[in-house]
Amino acid sequence: MTLALRVPDDRSARVPAEQRGPGRDRSSVRLLVSRGTEVAHRRFAELPGELRAGDVLVVNTSPTLAAAVDGRLGHARVVVHFSTRGDDGRWAVELREPDGRGTTRPRAGGPEGAVVSLPDGVELVYEEPVAAGSGRLWWGRVAGDVPVLLRRHGRAIRYAYTERDQPLSAYQTVFALPYADGAGSAEMPSAARPFTARTVARLVSRGVQFAPVTLHTGVASAEAHEPPYAERYEVPDASARLVNAARAGGGRVVAIGTTAVRAVESAAGADRVVRSAGGWTGLVVTPERGVRVVDGLLTGLHEPAASHLLMLEAIAGRAAVDRAYEEAVREFYLWHEFGDVHLILPEENAHAMSCSGNHA
C-alpha cells in the first residue's frame, strides 16, 4: 500500500515531546482518532476517554538496545547497527557510514568475509545476506559478548530526521522490561512512548486491562520500506487468556504498536483463539491475510510508502487510512518515533456485529 500524498519535510518530530517546551512530558503529543472514515483530533492525555471497561491493550515489553556501535572496516569509519541475534549466535547487522552530521547513511553490506573492528578488540566477520536479493542486513559472527559491547559502547539508533543523539532512556517505553540474556529491540516500539505511569493508572482505574507480549524488533525499514524480517516473539499464557476473555465478553483488543499486532496475531489460530506461543515469526499482516483478534491499533504515523501501512489497511480498510493521513497532513501532525500517534478503533456497529459473530 502506498498513500497518494506527500508528507512535508517539516513534519518530522526532531526531538522528544518533553523537550519541546516547559511543562511538557511524553504524553504531550497529539492523538488522531479514526473510527472508519470518521476522524477526531485529541490530545494523548484524552486516550482513557476513548477506551472503556473490558478493553484490553496489548503492549510490547521489549526494551530498546543501544544498538549502534562505531567501528572500522579497513581504514574507513563505519557504524554497525545490531539488529537481531540468531539461534546460532550470529547477529543480523546493518553497516552504515557517518554522514558528518552526527547520524549515518546506508552503505552496501559485506563483502563476504569482511572484518569490522569494534571497540574492546571485538571483531565482526560478515558471512552472508539475511535475505536473498537484499544487501541491507547481513549475518555476522562476533568474537565477543555483544550485550556487553552494546552496554559499554553503544548508543540508540537514530536517523537524519532527528536533531541530535538522545540518551537511551529517551527510547525506553514505560512497559520495557530487562531480559536476563540482554535481548531487546534494535529500535524502540515507539507507539508506547507517550504512555506515562499516570496514563496507565487512569486506564486501569477505568477498567482497561493490559496484556504484555514480547517482540524484539530489528531495524526498521526507514529507507527501503521492505517487509519486516523474522523476529523473536513471545505471547504468555496469561496474556492469551486476557485477550480471549475480552473478545468473549464484548471488549475490544487494541494493540499498542505494529510489533504488538505481529506478536499477538502470530499466536492466533484460524479459530481466532490466542494460545501461548513463542519463537520466530515471519508473519506479515496484509489486507489479504487480515487480522484474527485485533480490533484496534495505536500507532505512530508512517511514511506513505512504508510496509506498515498494509497492516493499518488490514485493520481499518483503505478508505479509513487514506482519510486519516489526509487529516494528519492537513492538521500538521508530527511523524516518526517522537511524533504524534494514531488510534484506530472499529466503528461501533461493526464491532457489535463482530462480537455477535464470536458468540455464534
CB neighbour list of residue 333: distance below 8 Å, 6 or more residues apart: 11, 30, 32, 301, 339, 340
Q: Is the per-residue pLDDT at 360 higher than 50?
A: no
Q: Is the per-residue pLDDT at 165 higher than 70?
A: yes
Name the residue with cell 535481548: 183
Q: Is the per-residue pLDDT at 224 higher than 70?
A: no
pTM recorded for the entire structure: 0.93
Q: Domains of the chain: which residue ranges? A: 9-64+170-359, 68-154
What's the CATH class of domain 68-154? mainly beta
3-27: pLDDT as tens digits: 778 899 899 999 999 999 999 999 9
Q: What is the pLDDT of residue 180?
A: 87
Q: What is the pLDDT of residue 304?
A: 85
CATH topology of 9-64+170-359 equal to that of 68-154?
no
Find the angle CA(99)-CA(101)-CA(107) to the nearest 5 degrees: 20
Q: What is the mean pLDDT of residues 35-53?
A: 97
Q: What is the pLDDT of residue 54?
A: 97
296-315: pLDDT as tens digits: 999 999 888 788 899 999 99
Count, residues in the chain: 360
Q: How deeply is 328 buried, as exposed, middle or buried, from its count of CB atoms within 10 A (0-12, 13-18, 19+)?
A: buried
**Percent of the chain's residues with pLDDT above 90:** 80
264-292: pLDDT as tens digits: 999 999 999 999 999 999 999 999 999 99
CATH node for 9-64+170-359? 3.40.1780.10
CB neighbour list of residue 65: distance below 8 Å, 6 or more residues apart: 82, 150, 154, 184, 185, 186
Q: What is the pLDDT of residue 99?
A: 86
